[in-house]
Amino acid sequence: MVETMIRSKGCLTRCGIVLSAILTLASLAGSAAGQMSLRDIARQDGFEWLIGRWAFTASEDQTIQMEYRWELDGHMITIDFALGSYAYHGIVFRQVAQDTVVEYGADNRGLSVQGVWEKAGQKILTKTQRTEANGNTQHMAIYLSAVADDTMKVEVYPLQDGQIAAEPLGVMEYRRQPAAPEQKEPAVKETTFKIGSKQWQQDVIPTSQGDLQITFIGHGTLMFAHNRKVIHVDPWNRLADYSQMPKADLILITHEHGDHLDAEAVAAVRTEKTQIVLNQASADQVPGGIVMKNGDVRSAAGISIEAVPAYNIQHKRPDSQPYHPQGIGNGYILTFGDQRVYVAGDTEDIPEMKDLKKIDIAFLPMNLPYTMTPEMVARAARLFGPAVVYPYHYGQTDPNALVDLLQDAPTIKVRIRELR
């Protein structure tokens, strides 16, 4: 019955509510002093173990992943939950005046969630209301109980007219997952890269195999230099005279749009030894390249490259087609010694980002309406926890908004460079 529930569309939203129920630290609020934080209450009553990363395997190809984090000095918890393409994000905080703890959240399908928590004997009871995009509402009751230090049991019941049904919709056990390793912010030396009268900002970052030089050409265009290798990312003649730029050992093209694929700029830095990595849709315009699909991993010019998804979910053209359809464009993860650099390409905060591992430096786009809002970039960064985020391709969006949104994430450093 549980597997059937999880495979259904309705279950995806139920699962979001089920997982948010873990935050029923709220049930303990009534016994605490008015100035106690939610974390203080959790510590006092022994429920802080609920915070962390959890997983429930519904079937061989369906695993729910979730993470709960303290924010704002323990006064709030953020929730991130994903099952396939489904994603839910919520916040939980204490309303001191009402002496309750509440949750507000939303998913990527137009659902909104509100919940209140109570203590029910040795269990925690969460009563939630979910409102779908079409206005339909459903109410659910969720019980949580500890099975072991690394396991928690979740029971989901229908709730009608305030009455909890006798039979559960499903019973699930979630297993604690290892904490994600903390990333240390790479040291950086700020300098400039000059050709003639033109100059660009450049950061020099030490790696275990020599310095990595990152030159910020602008928009979605970058240049890396490492171990005497030059890597151009989405070269564009509007930003630089590529006939004067260093010749490329490797060129990366994220997708076929004109501000990312400029065949003349590619030709200007290409030599007979240059390797070009690109998506299938770009191959017709740039012959002789290495086509990589989402999920491919290979080495080119001696550099390890992973191609990862890059697409839109929310932002669409007037004909309702996404600006960047799923399965066409690439983001790339490059490994330079002990530093892993993620160039996201044109994308939103997609669920696949939660699977990114040990990202030291991330370039995340913030160009409306084609990619992400600052809020979406902040959510993306929280999904995989890079040590450093460079907002790029940001057009007229104020990149300082991202600094404000990630103030409560001290392990993620935002560096702003001229990348309009």
C-alpha count within 13 angstroms, C-beta hemisphere, residue 54: 30
Among residues 94, 93, 79, 84, the alpha carbon closest in space to that of 18 is found at 79
Q: Are 368 and 397 in contact (CB under 8 A)?
A: yes
Q: What is the Rg, in whole angstroms, of the alpha carbon atoms belonging to the chain?
A: 24
Q: Are 94 and 101 in contact (CB under 8 A)?
A: yes
* Stretch(es) of the chain classified as CATH 2.40.128: 2-177
Eight-state DSSP code of residue 401? H
Eight-state DSSP code of residue 269? H
pLDDT number for residue 136: 93
Strands (E), 234-377: 250-252, 275-278, 290-291, 297-300, 303-310, 329-336, 339-343, 361-365
Instruction: Please give the Cα distance from 21 to 154 (Å, whole number).
Output: 8
Q: Is 186 helix (H, G, I), strand (E, B) or coil?
A: coil
Instruction: Please give the Cα distance from 298 to 293 (Å, whole number).
Output: 11
Tokens of 165: 């049904």
CATH topology of domain 189-414: Metallo-beta-lactamase; Chain A (3.60.15)
* Stretch(es) of the chain classified as CATH 3.60.15.10: 189-414
Q: Are 119 and 141 in contact (CB under 8 A)?
A: no
Q: Are 374 and 349 in contact (CB under 8 A)?
A: no
Q: How confident is the prediction along the chain (420 residues), in pLDDT tens digits per residue? A: 333 333 344 444 455 544 454 444 444 444 434 467 888 877 777 778 788 888 898 776 688 888 888 888 888 889 888 887 788 889 988 888 888 989 999 998 899 999 998 877 778 888 899 999 899 999 998 887 788 878 988 889 999 888 999 999 999 999 988 876 666 777 899 999 999 899 999 999 999 999 999 999 999 999 999 999 999 999 999 999 999 999 999 999 999 999 999 999 999 999 999 999 999 999 999 999 999 999 999 999 999 999 999 999 999 999 999 999 999 999 999 999 999 999 999 999 999 999 999 999 999 999 889 999 999 999 999 999 999 999 999 999 999 999 999 998 989 999 999 998
How big, in percent rounded to 5, are the helix, strand and coil portions of the chain? 20, 40, 40
Q: Are 76 and 51 in contact (CB under 8 A)?
A: no
Q: Are 261 and 255 in contact (CB under 8 A)?
A: yes
pLDDT number for residue 183: 65
| Whole-Å CA distances, 60 to 3, 56, 65, 111, 296 | 11, 11, 14, 27, 22
Instruction: Please give the Cα distance from 23 to 147 (Å, whole number).
Output: 16
Q: Which run of H or of E encompasses 223?
A: strand 221-226
Question: How would you classify the pairing of strands 170-177 and 163-164?
Answer: unpaired
Furthest-apart CA atoms within the chain: distance in Å: 78
Instruction: Please give the Cα distance from 377 to 393 (Å, whole number).
Output: 12
Burial class (CB in 10 A: 0-12, 13-18, 19+), 14: buried
Eight-state DSSP code of residue 373? -
Each residue of 290-328: b (16+ CB within 10 Å) or e?
eebebeeeeebbebebbbbbbbbbebeeeeeebbbebeb
Instruction: Please give the Cα distance from 213 to 93 (Å, whole number).
Output: 43
**The pTM of the whole model exceeds 0.85:** no
Q: State which amino acid sits at residue 256.
A: E
Among residues 331, 325, 343, the alpha carbon closest in space to that of 296 is found at 331
What is the assigned CATH class of domain 2-177? Answer: mainly beta
Among residues 259, 232, 224, 217, the alpha carbon closest in space to that of 346 is found at 259
Q: Are 331 and 347 in contact (CB under 8 A)?
A: yes
